[in-house]
């Protein structure tokens, strides 16, 4: 039974389809039983359903006995990455034995974290944690002490990073480790975060790493460019919006579960207005439930699709927030594409940009446009609508 849901990643009963993607991911997971490991990069634009997909995979993996770790890198600097990832690994390793109080203490100030970490350190044996875990705890305590003293901790953050990254290999468990919005790590101010990362995880036989990210060009740079340390051992899974058929099935089943149904014409309007983006399908589904009577009609679909891109809708706010980060020229270039220009020459003619390639590259880096052959496209219908109004 499909239920509509908008605003956060979905799983289980709210999660629809993605069977091919799930089986692709799960094949990789179970390959580690045979001691062969292949990591995966899950790449796609915002709101297409990447986080939901990897979380759903994590649910399945947990049921199959994997320890699972999920870390959203959005907004994390190097120090917070090291802290948060360490906390997530501790939570996974102490599963069932680490309560909310402990987690809150770790998130609190350095003082509270030190007390909690020391307490765990004192119980390493009783909790049957490895000596490596003890080493990790010691480094983390040292790190927090430096932070409390106002030190920047250049050396200690590197040491702690290495200790954290190698932790999974020092246990007997099988791990699935997911980093969401991983491209954020590209900006960490150190020699090469990705080189350190690779060195630490390279030979781990008991963990599969999954890297998801919305900044398509940046993700492709990290995982597809042979010059980057993390390329080579990673398969890329491109996540696309639902197909027309899947999108219509999703809405159809959703409406039924609320005791309603929609005509084929109404479904077509939803499909055209959302381009199969699951976030928009859910929002439209929820809004359409307000329609009077049991039938969702063409007029209802048109009203909802129109409302979606009006300034009062949360969809609009979400997309506008993403676009707000762009400079004026990038916006102009986007608008030119939205107006139907696809080749660099055509796109440039709709703007005053001197070197349109610079902007096209930037927009692709952030996942706002796709490049197919020599042509550029906006696949998100809401982005398209919004930039047309510039």
Ligand X SMILES: Nc1ncnc2c1ncn2[C@@H]1O[C@H](COP(=O)(O)OP(=O)(O)O)[C@@H](O)[C@H]1O
In eight-state DSSP terms, residue 271 is H
Report the 10 Å Cβ neighbour count for 77.
13
**Tokens at residue 73, please?**
């890198």
Within 32-61, the residues that bind Mg ion by CB under 5 A are 51
Q: Which does 168 bind (CB under 5 to 8 A by kind): ligand X, Mg ion, none?
A: none
SS3 182: helix
Q: Please, where are the H alpha helices in 64-124?
A: 78-93, 100-107, 110-122
Tell me how far, at minimum, the Cβ of 112 lies from ligand X, in Å.
31
The H-or-E segment that residue 253 falls in is helix 244-257
Nearer to ligand X, 2 or 160 (CB): 2
5 binds, among Mg ion, ligand X, none (CB under 5 to 8 A by kind): ligand X
Cβ atoms of 194 and 228 within 8 Å: the answer is yes
CB of 50 vs Mg ion, minimal distance in Å: 5
- State how far the Cα of 36 lies from the Cα of 236, in Å rounded to an integer: 17
Residue 8 partner contact from ligand X, Mg ion, none using kind-dependent CB cut-offs of 5 to 8 Å: ligand X
Residue 108 binds which of Mg ion, ligand X, none (CB < 5-8 A, kind-dependent): none
Q: How far is CA 268 from CA 25, 354, 370, 382, in A?
A: 31, 40, 24, 17
Q: Can you give the binding site for ligand X, defined by CB under 6 A?
A: 5-10, 14-18, 44, 46-52, 214, 278-279, 282
Q: How far is the CB of 235 from Mg ion (least distance, A)?
A: 19
Q: Which is nearer to ligand X, 49 or 168 (CB)?
A: 49
By rule CB under 5 A, what count of residues binds Mg ion? 1
Residue 382 CA to residue 249 CA, distance in Å, equals 21
Q: Which residue's C-beta sits nearest to ligand X?
A: 49
Q: Choosing among ligand X, Mg ion, none, which partner's interface includes residue 365 (Cβ < 5 to 8 Å by kind)? A: none
Q: How far is the CB of 270 from ligand X (least distance, A)?
A: 14
Tell me how far, at minimum, the Cβ of 299 lies from ligand X, in Å: 24
SS3 370: strand
Q: Which residues bind Mg ion (CB under 5 A)?
A: 51
């Amino acid at each position: 039974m499909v239920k509509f849901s908008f605003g956060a990643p979905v799983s289980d009963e709210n999660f629809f389809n993605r069977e091919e993607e799930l089986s692709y991911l799960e094949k990789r997971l179970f390959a580690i039983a045979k001691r062969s490991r292949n990591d995966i990069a899950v790449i796609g634009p915002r709101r297409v359903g990447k986080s939901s997909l990897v979380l759903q995979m994590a649910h399945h993996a947990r049921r199959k006995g994997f320890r699972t770790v999920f870390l959203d890198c959005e907004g994390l600097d190097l120090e917070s990455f090291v802290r948060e990832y360490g906390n997530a690994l501790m939570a996974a390793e102490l599963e069932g034995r680490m309560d909310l109080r402990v987690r809150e203490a770790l998130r609190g100030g350095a003082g509270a974290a030190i007390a909690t970490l020391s307490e765990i350190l004192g119980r390493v044996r009783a909790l049957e944690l490895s000596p490596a875990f003890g080493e990790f705890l010691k480094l983390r305590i040292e790190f927090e002490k430096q932070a409390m003293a106002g030190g920047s901790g250049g050396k200690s953050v590197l040491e702690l990073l290495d200790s954290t990254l190698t932790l999974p290999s020092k246990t007997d468990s099988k791990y699935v480790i997911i980093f969401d919005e991983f491209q954020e790590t590209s900006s960490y101010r150190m020699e090469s975060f990705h080189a350190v990362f690779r060195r630490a995880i390279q030979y781990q036989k008991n963990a599969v790493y999954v890297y998801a990210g919305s900044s398509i060009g940046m993700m492709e740079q990290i995982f597809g460019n042979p010059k980057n340390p993390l390329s080579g051992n990673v398969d890329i899974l491109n996540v696309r919006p639902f197909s027309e058929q899947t999108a219509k099935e999703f809405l159809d089943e959703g409406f039924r579960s609320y005791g309603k149904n929609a005509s084929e014409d109404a479904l077509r309007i939803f499909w055209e207005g959302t381009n199969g983006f699951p976030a928009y399908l859910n929002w439209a589904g929820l809004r359409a439930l307000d329609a009077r009577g049991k039938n969702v009609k063409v007029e209802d679909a048109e009203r909802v699709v129109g409302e979606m891109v009006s300034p009062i809708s949360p969809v609009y706010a979400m997309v506008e927030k993403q676009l707000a980060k762009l400079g004026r020229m990038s916006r102009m270039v986007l608008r030119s594409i939205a107006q139907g220009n696809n080749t660099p020459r055509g796109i440039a003619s709709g703007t005053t940009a001197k070197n349109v390639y610079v902007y096209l590259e930037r927009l692709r880096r952030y996942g706002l446009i796709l490049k197919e052959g020599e042509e550029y496209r906006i696949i998100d219908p809401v982005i398209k609508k919004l930039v047309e109004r510039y």
